[in-house]
Structure 1
């Protein structure tokens, strides 16, 4: 008998603690699943309350409201005759669990808690949740009174179990459990489970979209079966962009998927598979004996049939097309900015546009966002409604990205006496090509006013180092320029729309990249201090590649000149109109070197000594002494500037070596910059290398001397001619 199973996975753009909207999006996804004939609908992790509730998970209110939303969803007529599993927190025996709640026809079948919590990178799950540690064990969970009244149930099973309908057996993993070396989908498959369901909250990092898909595909390739993977998509109030890419895998092939980047809040992918083919696939594998001896999972009986034998086209394997890193930068931060803008109820963005790679990258990402909005409006009433609210025009319809950019995006070149004509020209040209509303102001008067106040109080006037000033004077003079720009940026962001008789204000955008933050090459509370930063999690190397992509993809020829320009802060006096200051010279390290050090520090968890050892073979063209000096310089600067990370502008997380103190990088912000013990270890290693080099030099010289004949030892057989018989 043919058992055709129709199931839907969902990518939802949920918002933490926005229970009403989250409920509506879940119901919308169930409606789509029903319309496509699905008998099973799976959703993302913690979709009812939102994944990034963080310490709100410690509040009983979060659990209470999640139960209220669950009851509202269960009682909805659209949920008739379809199995639904949703993600929410559940408090059991005074401990909070991250759970899937599975229900059918107004009855809860099973509460399945997460067994393996994620605590790496931006994840802190063990701070809020307890892992379920009782494998293949269930207990009775007594429902809250109002839930019991609605369902007619007093208690339901909670624990590690599988759902067994009359014609299919369904098991569960939750997000991190797929990544675990001892993933549960293998023993479940050996126990005869045909469908594995995973509700996930996996965020985006550059070059990592394939990791998840490879794991999902391999789960069914190794043991056969159908794997339903549902993931969040978008920004739900934190620093990450959830990756989407929900998919269905069957016997080693992906047969349905959702997009990775989209402004659409609810996307459903549905697949039709023949579960009889699971049995035939597994008979070809060498797992029969292993499966026969496998431990059984508790079965929760569902008195229903979820398959049919009608004539229906089965879902065919699809070829997964991955985005390039440049495309990921173009679309991921753009979607994240859109979520932040529409949910903050502001009227657009304001960006100090310097004409350099960093600020122009931020500007290009906003332009990309506008392109996505224009593409989405024909198919999404939500996107169109949000745009009309932002521009204060209920009849507005965006047809062109440049025109929309002019309404939502305001850029400003803030010149001082140290600014060059080249950067001013580049900023203006890019603004024209992307369509932003651009202005130019000279802030030298404000800088002079502040310096006059200092001189009035102290009677002293600081000078640049090029004019004979000390490093302290020079640094202070550079910082005051940068901080004045921040003050002016916020003044304009609050009043530009007022001056145009529009409602709301503008969000100030930052433009400090991840490498500059890692090195601390930014002024605290300068124009790197902003409301959000679209490039704060991206390396300079990746930004240059992104601009090369955007130049052709978005038809922005101005980016060609911007990419070839030497990065500079332009805070030092010009020499006959020419630059005397460059970023890499100021930092004492190239951006490529910073990127390498950042990854070494993150991936290898390297301290000064370990980094020195790791980089010796990587930077083979450098002398060991040069590598040592660069490592020491990096860690001195890191220690000296770590305090700046406590006020780092929230940015979308993309590179895996982010120094963001607030979420990703939990290290101290006050260090001894001497690193005495660590640097002494580097010096000892340098001395050892020097000794080895000297010995090698002596050995090489000695090889020119005649080699004496080998004298056989006593009791050694010889061939009679002085040669040793081996």
Structure 2
């Protein structure tokens, strides 16, 4: 006979150290879960202080305030009558743990510390927390006095245990543990746990969601069970965007999936599931045999039922049905992920909008289109009655409580400012493209020439030194040519910040904050170092700094049709150029020619360097096979040597790189993700000798197939 229960998981847009706001969103999720008749509610990892507190987790205040917020949650009678799983940091025996507290009716049942900590890529959990290495081990924890007064408990169990109700058994694993070879859900399933909860802080990367979804569904496809996956969502104060996608899975089948990109601060996902399906699914001899030798977990017994008993069976209750997983195209991920990240950043920093130097090239174009999509998402949320979004946009624009936007362009006119900063090296085509794009998306646009500023700056140098630099096309040296390009780029940065601070003032917004300056250097240019230090790529935040040029082009192709912006076709067809050198009959500057690489090549080189962890020699060997049909071994060797040379000599630029939306595994972000030195010998002399040795042997052998590589 079926045994139905309704369970809830959620995605919350928490903000690091926003204790009261985080608490209120947790309370709202619990209230919504109860309204949907759920008897178990699971929340994201470290949801009380916010996941991204980073070194603030070393401060004792964070633990004190987290307990204070938790006290107000469990003392609120609206949270009673439902089993709660809440993420919180806990200090136990002078050690810091990433924990989850399970409670019912204002009584704490178990504090479960995280066993395996995320400690690579963007994550540094072992810098703040201690892993609970003793699996299936539990000890006593003395509760803070404020909690003792509320619950009447002095101690509770702390460790790796399960919750046993009158009708089922619940086990827990946290985020990273799911992705480990010996994931806890396997032992939990073999010891009889039927429901698994997973609180996560998992961030968005392009093309990553399918990996996460495969791991979650596989967790119960092999062992059977009900999996409740909860995740953070939004920008909680750093480069990451947590992309929600809360999930409920039964025996490997998805029955509920939350949104990946959304402006809802609180999303509660529920499903009605049948415990008998789990028991039938596990009716395998192999499962029974292995369970006799698997670890045994301590059971915390709770005299409650998560579902009605057989006598009170309600025939009107029906289980949730299987559904397909929703995946976005990479182009859509570029559209919605950075747009949501920008929105969170803007509304939380109390700024009055964005400013970008709109050059007429595809990078600043892509950034501007992402802002347009943000405005479109805000407009749609207001149309759909999202009061939080409407309240936020009213505060940002200072338009009052009665105002509601009539279009995305009306929002852009009030918060988005673009500026074409031309010189005599600029073309009419880029100027025209920039102006038309600004008109289509509704930004407040300024068109100016800055030749007088450039000339004045060079004149200062000439007066001081008696020497006047000239461009290479007019007979100057490479160093003169580079300096003359860089001064234009750096002066644009100075102008950008001047306009960002004063434009709201010129429009009569004397009580508003300044504008956030947006950068627009893509991940490939940052990897190669093809940007000027402290130029107009130096900004407050950069939504495309982790996105490749090739992906940005695909995104613009998609956006042209999806958002009816025909002007984008001109950006796609144009040759990428910095327009920092004079245009002559025989010379037009080209980004790819300047770099010595195509953008496609840089993406491949970047992935081999970071994701495949290749040095010059290993990269050369791999490329011999990858590019065997398009380049000679000598050309490949030259590409590898040149790449590592430019990557190394420009590595210092990453130390001051604008904080960028993290979207790619090969990001060269020096500040957190890519921890390589910035003073590197660019010659890589030994690796070069190895590469040259292979080339010599190939020349002797005559063909690659007879070559042995040591």
Counterpart contact for 1:223–1:285, Cα < 8 Å = no
1:425 and 2:429 matched: no
Query: For residue 717 of structure 1, what is the aligned residue in structure 2?
Result: none
| Aligned positions of 1:408-487 closer than 5 A | 408-487=415-494
Give SS of 1:318's match: coil
What is the distance in 1 between the residues matched to 2:705 and 2:17? 67
What is the distance in 2 between the residues matched to 1:263 and 1:651? 20
Give SS of 2:297's match: coil
What is the distance in 2 between the residues matched to 1:584 and 1:694? 31
Cα deviation for residue 399 of structure 1 reads: 2.1
Structure 2's unaligned 5+ residue stretches are none
Give deviations 1:349-401, integer Å, cap 9, x for gaps: 00100111100000000000001001111321110011011111113211211
Distance 1:671 1:141, change over 3 A: same
Give deviations 1:305-364, integer Å, cap 9, x for gaps: 111133311111111121000000000000000000000101110010011110000000
Q: How many residues align?
A: 697
Counterpart contact for 2:45–2:88, Cα < 8 Å = yes
Query: For residue 598 of structure 2, what is the aligned residue in structure 1?
Result: 590
Query: For residue 185 of structure 2, what is the aligned residue in structure 1?
Result: 185
Of residues 301-310 and 16-25 in structure 1, the stretch that sits farther from structure 2 once superposed is 301-310
1:500 and 2:507 matched: yes
What is the distance in 2 between the residues matched to 1:481 and 1:606? 36
What is the distance in 2 between the residues matched to 1:688 and 1:301? 71
Counterpart contact for 2:698–2:704, Cα < 8 Å = no
Query: For residue 386 of structure 1, what is the aligned residue in structure 2?
Result: 392
Of residues 276-285 and 488-497 in structure 1, the stretch that sits farther from structure 2 once superposed is 276-285
Cα deviation for residue 671 of structure 1 reads: 1.1
Of residues 422-431 and 689-698 in structure 1, the stretch that sits farther from structure 2 once superposed is 689-698
Query: For residue 642 of structure 1, what is the aligned residue in structure 2?
Result: 651
Query: For residue 675 of structure 2, what is the aligned residue in structure 1?
Result: 666
TM-score by length of 1: 0.95
Cα deviation for residue 292 of structure 1 reads: 2.9
Query: For residue 35 of structure 2, what is the aligned residue in structure 1?
Result: 35
What is the distance in 2 between the residues matched to 1:216 and 1:670? 41
What is the distance in 2 between the residues matched to 1:10 and 1:458? 65
1:551 and 2:560 matched: yes
1:600 and 2:604 matched: no
1:216 and 2:216 matched: yes
Match of 1:561 among 570, 573, 577: 570
Give deviations 1:614-660, integer Å, cap 9, x for gaps: 11111112111110110010000011100000110011100110000
What is the distance in 2 between the residues matched to 1:659 and 1:611? 17
Query: For residue 580 of structure 2, what is the aligned residue in structure 1?
Result: 571
Distance 1:310 1:631, change over 3 A: same
What is the distance in 2 between the residues matched to 1:645 and 1:688? 37
What is the distance in 2 between the residues matched to 1:696 and 1:44? 53
Distance 1:291 1:495, change over 3 A: same
Query: For residue 376 of structure 2, what is the aligned residue in structure 1?
Result: 371
Higher-Rg structure is: 1
Cα deviation for residue 598 of structure 1 reads: 0.6
Counterpart contact for 1:498–1:504, Cα < 8 Å = no
What is the distance in 2 between the residues matched to 1:417 and 1:250? 64
Runs of 4+ in 1 over 2 A off after TM superposition: 292-295, 694-698
What is the distance in 1 between the residues matched to 2:455 and 2:51? 48
Structure 1's unaligned 5+ residue stretches are 699-726
Give SS of 1:307's match: coil
| Aligned positions of 1:687-698 closer than 5 A | 687-693=696-702
Counterpart contact for 2:256–2:271, Cα < 8 Å = yes
Query: For residue 87 of structure 2, what is the aligned residue in structure 1?
Result: 87
Query: For residue 324 of structure 2, what is the aligned residue in structure 1?
Result: 319
Distance 1:104 1:694, change over 3 A: closer
Cα deviation for residue 295 of structure 1 reads: 2.2
| Aligned positions of 1:108-257 closer than 5 A | 108-257=108-257
Cα deviation for residue 288 of structure 1 reads: 1.7
What is the distance in 1 between the residues matched to 2:214 and 2:537? 38
1:618 and 2:626 matched: yes
Cα deviation for residue 274 of structure 1 reads: 1.0
What is the distance in 2 between the residues matched to 1:379 and 1:513? 35
Query: For residue 519 of structure 1, what is the aligned residue in structure 2?
Result: 528
What is the distance in 2 between the residues matched to 1:447 and 1:151? 69
Give SS of 1:286's match: helix
| Aligned positions of 1:396-407 closer than 5 A | 396-407=403-414
Distance 1:189 1:683, change over 3 A: same
1:310 and 2:314 matched: yes
Counterpart contact for 1:209–1:243, Cα < 8 Å = no
TM-score by length of 2: 0.97
Give SS of 1:192's match: coil
Give SS of 2:68's match: helix
Distance 1:697 1:156, change over 3 A: closer
Query: For residue 718 of structure 1, what is the aligned residue in structure 2?
Result: none
Of residues 605-614 and 2-11 in structure 1, the stretch that sits farther from structure 2 once superposed is 2-11
Give deviations 1:493-521, integer Å, cap 9, x for gaps: 00000111112211000000000000000
